[in-house]
């Protein structure tokens, strides 16, 4: 390191001495020209440094092109100057090379900055994309016989969303297939879920619960039934916890949640009083210009088992348990629960949902799974799920501001 330092100092010293020897015999005019040339070179170097720094901050890309033209005009002056001083052969060569390098650098800088400017404009246009926020369908549950087809009409919201393209998928292609434009074709007996997802915003989707049944016999039975028909030879859903289970009444209220189940053969259908009260509720809402309709009422143990298993295919156990009840644990099996309108999260922001939250108890119903009570009820917010309790109890639960679990002092969690 020391040796290098000494030789470098020696070099600088010799260089200065040589330069001085060169300058001394020059005329005053030549000395002036050389001095101004050196000054210009220094300025040029400074400009280069400044440009490199600007390039690292692409926030002000517009300032650059003007500056670069200024630089190139200066470089041209420089090259003219260097041809003038051809007498100093060595120095002028160095200078011309410097000038060429400067020109090359300038050109490349201009190119890069223009690209940066172009990229910035593209990103600005992309920020104006309006994403799809929700999807509604003309139906959410459909029963088909093998070979039949159905096609829900899809509406993506908001109206002015940028990308309204759809992606369709099925949870079981053997039961029902789906075309690229949403045509459902029933293929085999069973149930599955057809999903439409927003291509522009894959977090947003809507689902149709498809039930496929065998087509009715095409020809009348030719032989008389010699033996009693074996009822429902279709594959039976797992009946594991059914035998010992009995319906649970607490304070005269039939309770079904994750803690309390119903036996598999509890099969009452939709309760007539519940249905009658619901019809009155629908009339009252209609009088205020609101449209409330029944989407799903009574569901049997078997039906619920199939729904649950379909969800299981999509989401796995943990998530499914927050979305769908296990067989025997669905309130729909009581015949006292009704799902209304579109069974989607977006229903929660409709005037119908607001009206229900405020008035359902006047007809004997409560919003069974309110917002923010998931840890108590075991289910996410379901603005569409009504539970019939009778006028008196519904009013009491409503004014208490509690969930049914809190009101009765019970839990809702699966045993295992």
Comparison of 75 and 304: residue with beta carbon closer to Zn ion: 304
Interface map 337-366 toward Zn ion (x if CB under 5 A): --x---------------------------
Comparison of 194 and 340: residue with beta carbon closer to Zn ion: 340
d(CA 296, CA 307): 13
Look at residues 298, 320, 300 and name the one whose alpha carbon lies nearest to residue 308: 320
Q: Which of 207, 352, 382, 405 is catalytic?
A: 382
Comparison of 187 and 361: residue with beta carbon closer to Zn ion: 361
Nearest approach in angstroms of CB 205 to Zn ion is: 19
Comparison of 142 and 156: residue with beta carbon closer to Zn ion: 142
Among positions 167-196, residues that touch Zn ion (CB under 5 A) are: none
Q: Can you state the angle between helices 63-84 and 89-126, rounded to 10 degrees?
A: 170
Nearest approach in angstroms of CB 214 to Zn ion is: 27
Nearest approach in angstroms of CB 351 to Zn ion is: 20
Q: Which SS3 state, helix, strand or coil, does residue 409 take?
A: coil
d(CA 346, CA 372): 16
d(CA 43, CA 49): 10
Number of Cβ within a 10 Å radius of residue 360: 24
Q: How is residue 397 written in tokens?
A: 């639960």
CA neighbours closer than 13 Å in the CB half-sphere of residue 415: 4
412 CB contacts (<8 Å, ≥6 apart)? 257, 258, 259, 376, 377, 378, 405
Comparison of 95 and 331: residue with beta carbon closer to Zn ion: 331
Stretch that binds Zn ion, among 70-78, 128-136, 347-355, 381-389 (CB under 5 A): 381-389
Stretch that binds Zn ion, among 29-37, 270-278, 385-393, 404-412 (CB under 5 A): 385-393
Comparison of 95 and 339: residue with beta carbon closer to Zn ion: 339
Please calculate the CA angle 322-337-318 and round it to the nearest 5 degrees: 10
Out of 209, 303, 385, 387, name the contact with Zn ion by CB under 5 A: 385
Nearest approach in angstroms of CB 408 to Zn ion is: 19
Are the beta carbons of 282 and 290 closer than 8 angstroms? no
> If you search the block for the tokens 């100093």, which residue do you land on?
88
Interface map 313-332 toward Zn ion (x if CB under 5 A): --------------------
For residue 382, indicate whether it is catalytic.
yes
Are the beta carbons of 288 and 263 closer than 8 angstroms? no
Are the beta carbons of 390 and 364 closer than 8 angstroms? yes
Comparison of 187 and 385: residue with beta carbon closer to Zn ion: 385
Number of residues that bind Zn ion (CB under 5 A): 2
Residue nearest to Zn ion (CB): 385
Q: Is 368 a residue that touches Zn ion (CB under 5 A)? A: no
> If you search the block for the tokens 């002028």, which residue do you land on?
92
Nearest approach in angstroms of CB 147 to Zn ion is: 30
Q: How is residue 33 written in tokens?
A: 């020209």
Stretch that binds Zn ion, among 4-12, 196-204, 336-344, 398-406 (CB under 5 A): 336-344
Nearest approach in angstroms of CB 143 to Zn ion is: 18
CA distances from 154 to 93, 196, 293, 346 (A): 74, 8, 19, 14
Nearest approach in angstroms of CB 325 to Zn ion is: 8
Q: Which residues make up the interface to Zn ion (CB under 5 A)?
A: 339, 385
Give the residue numbers marked as catalytic.
Answer: 382
């Amino acid at each position: 390191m020391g040796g290098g330092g000494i030789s470098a100092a020696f070099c600088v010293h010799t260089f200065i001495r040589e330069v001085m020897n060169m300058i001394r015999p020059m005329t005053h005019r030549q000395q002036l020209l050389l001095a101004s040339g050196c000054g210009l070179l220094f300025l040029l170097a400074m400009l280069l440094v400044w440009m490199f720094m600007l390039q690292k901050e692409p926030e002000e890309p517009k300032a650059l092109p003007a500056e670069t033209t200024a630089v190139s005009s200066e470089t041209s002056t420089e090259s003219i100057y260097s041809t003038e001083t051809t007498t100093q052969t060595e120095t002028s060569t160095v200078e011309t090379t410097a000038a060429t390098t400067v020109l090359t650098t300038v050109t490349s800088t201009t190119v890069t900055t223009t690209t940066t400017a172009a990229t910035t404009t593209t990103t600005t246009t992309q920020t104006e994309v309006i994403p799809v926020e929700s999807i509604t369908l003309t139906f959410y549950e459909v029963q088909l016989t093998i070979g039949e087809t159905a096609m829900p009409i899809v509406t993506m919201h908001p109206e002015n969303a940028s990308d309204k393209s759809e992606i369709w998928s099925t949870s079981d292609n053997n039961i029902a297939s789906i075309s690229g434009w949403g045509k459902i074709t029933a293929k085999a007996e069973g149930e599955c879920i057809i999903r439409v997802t927003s291509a522009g915003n894959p977090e947003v989707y809507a689902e149709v619960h498809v039930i496929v049944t065998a087509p009715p016999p095409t020809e009348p039975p030719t032989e008389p039934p010699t033996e009693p028909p074996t009822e429902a030879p279709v594959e039976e859903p797992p009946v594991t916890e059914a035998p010992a289970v009995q319906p649970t009444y607490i304070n005269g209220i039939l309770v079904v949640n994750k803690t309390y189940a119903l036996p598999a053969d509890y099969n009452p259908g939709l309760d007539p009083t519940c249905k009658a009260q619901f019809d009155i509720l629908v009339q009252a809402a209609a009088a205020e210009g609101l449209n409330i309709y029944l989407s799903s009422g009574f569901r049997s143990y078997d039906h619920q088992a199939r729904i649950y298993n379909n969800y299981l295919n999509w989401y796995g156990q943990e998530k499914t348990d927050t979305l769908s009840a296990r067989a025997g644990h669905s309130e729909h099996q009581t015949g006292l629960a009704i799902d209304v309108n579109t069974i989607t999260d977006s229903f929660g922001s409709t005037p119908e949902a607001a009206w229900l939250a405020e008035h359902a108890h006047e007809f004997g119903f409560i919003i069974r799974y309110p917002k923010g009570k998931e840890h108590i009820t075991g289910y996410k917010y379901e603005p569409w799920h009504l539970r019939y309790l009778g006028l008196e109890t519904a009013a009491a639960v409503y004014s208490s501001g509690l969930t049914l679990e809190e009101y009765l002092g019970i839990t809702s969690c699966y045993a295992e």
